[in-house]
Amino acid sequence: MSKLEVRDLRQPDKSDSFPKRKVEVTHLDGRDVVRFVLEPGWKWSEHVGAATNTKLCPKEHIGYHLSGRLYVQTADGAESFIEAGQVAYIPAEHEAWVVGDEPVVVVDWTAWSVG
């Protein structure tokens, strides 16, 4: 049985910075809540895919977008802008990039760990 647990995303358990991307992980009841900050000019294939030798993001995401504008294209051809105030499910095998000059900040509840 799980117990009530309250955490502060401003005090993550783990934080990593990469070119144009910051990842903050907060552990909550055996799960991870991830806060992504994606800077203007960030593109998955250039800033993550090139380093991992993959063309599309292999992970799904379920998140709430706090700021900025993200454009997503899925392997099956679906595409959409995701903006502040919106929630989104993004299936595995997608490309994404920041549109405009405002950072994209997303809180992601996807059931995967970044370490």
Judging by beta carbons within 10 Å of its beta carbon (0-12, 13-18, 19+), is residue 93 exposed, middle or buried? middle
Q: What is the mean pLDDT of the chain?
A: 93
Token couple for 41: 């000019």
CA dist 85 and 107 (Å) reads: 11
Q: How confident is the model at residue 2 (pLDDT cuts 50, 70, 90)?
A: confident
Its pTM stands at 0.90
**Percent of the chain as helix, strand, coil, to the nearest 5:** 10, 50, 45
Whether 114 has a pLDDT exceeding 60, the answer reads no
Please state the domain extents for the chain.
15-108
pLDDT digits (tens, 9 = 90+) for 69-92: 999 999 999 999 999 999 999 999
50: three-class secondary structure by DSSP: helix
Whether 20 has a pLDDT exceeding 90, the answer reads yes
Identify the pLDDT of residue 115. 45
| Secondary structure letter of residue 49 according to DSSP | I
CATH T-level assignment (fold) for domain 15-108? Jelly Rolls (2.60.120)
